[in-house]
């Protein structure tokens, strides 16, 4: 579920997906590697007010797997236990697909969950620039981390640049953006911290903070499937071999300021992800 300890923190975190370079194909287009599924106002009329028990998110993940999705990006924090039934149901769903879950840096978090070593990048941190860094944070529940395909950190410093890697403790970790584009391309990136990232045969420069430039699309329009429709019996052939982004976009979600104007945070994340993806086409 999306953690609501601090609305301001949440908006900052979600900004971590706020922009983008020439988007080309939009999510849910035939040429796009992504399909966006939003818990929107229509879905809230069906399921009630967000957030939900995690068994509901599991329904969406299971549906994506059944439709042949390449994987799922879950755009909610699952760092504190809720109902045991719902948490266990979500873990089982994660085991049936390639699930990417998000984390964030927060040195005020007194009891972070452990981060498995497989999500720490095997590269030296010496002379590696000045990436976003922290010693604690909002990490997925241990059982979910064990079942997840990948864990990506979603932090940002400014609106027009987003991190490719961050530093958690004494090791580098992937950003949620990097996890998403790696899954979409089916490849692992080659990264020289503070210098370059290479993926899909293309090398893109990073700044000293291992960040990449972002631009917004020209409009705020974004094709998506309502969650309530997605989990129903309606066929969705467009999902096959695509990466499903499961996120929140109700009118109750406060918008953030962007060069495009007011944009709801998870919609902005999609724009940013698409922009970074487009850099390697």
Query: pTM for the full model?
Result: 0.89
* Structural contact between residues 266 and 10, judged by C-beta atoms closer than 8 angstroms: no
| pLDDT level of residue 264 (50, 70, 90 thresholds) | very high
Task: Tell me the pLDDT tens digit for each residue of 65-82.
Answer: 999 999 999 999 999 999
* Structural contact between residues 76 and 245, judged by C-beta atoms closer than 8 angstroms: no
Q: Domain ranges in the chain?
A: 7-279
Examine the pLDDT at 14 and tell me if it is beyond 70.
no
| pLDDT level of residue 30 (50, 70, 90 thresholds) | low
* Structural contact between residues 274 and 22, judged by C-beta atoms closer than 8 angstroms: no
| pLDDT level of residue 7 (50, 70, 90 thresholds) | very low
Task: Tell me the pLDDT tens digit for each residue of 83-94.
Answer: 999 999 999 999
Strands 196-199 and 190-192: antiparallel
């Amino acid at each position: 579920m999306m953690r609501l300890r601090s609305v301001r923190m949440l908006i900052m975190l979600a900004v971590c997906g706020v922009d983008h370079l020439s988007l080309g194909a939009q999510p849910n287009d035939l040429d796009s590697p992504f399909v966006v599924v939003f818990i929107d106002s229509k879905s809230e009329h069906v399921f009630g007010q967000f957030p939900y028990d995690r068994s509901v998110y599991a329904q969406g993940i299971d549906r994506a797997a059944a439709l042949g999705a390449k994987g799922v990006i879950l755009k909610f924090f699952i760092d504190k236990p809720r109902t045991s039934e719902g948490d266990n149901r979500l873990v089982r769903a994660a085991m049936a697909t390639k699930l990417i879950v998000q984390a964030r840096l927060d040195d005020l978090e007194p009891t972070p969950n452990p981060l498995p070593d497989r999500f720490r990048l095997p590269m030296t941190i010496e002379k590696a620039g000045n990436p976003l860094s922290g010693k604690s944070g909002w990490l997925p529940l241990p059982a979910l981390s064990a079942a997840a395909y990948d864990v990506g950190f979603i932090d940002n410093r400014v609106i027009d640049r987003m991190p490719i890697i961050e530093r958690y403790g004494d090791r580098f970790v992937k950003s949620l953006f990097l996890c998403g584009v790696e899954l979409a391309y089916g490849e692992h990136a080659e990264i020289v911290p503070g210098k370059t990232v290479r993926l899909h045969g293309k090398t893109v420069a990073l700044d000293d903070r291992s960040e990449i430039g972002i631009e917004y699309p020209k409009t705020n329009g974004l094709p998506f499937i309502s969650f309530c429709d997605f989990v129903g019996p309606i066929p969705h052939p467009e999902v096959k071999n695509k990466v499903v982004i499961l996120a929140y976009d109700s009118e109750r979600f406060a918008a953030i300021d962007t060069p495009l104007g007011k944009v709801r945070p998870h919609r902005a994340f999609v724009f940013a992800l698409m922009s970074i993806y487009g850099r390697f086409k």
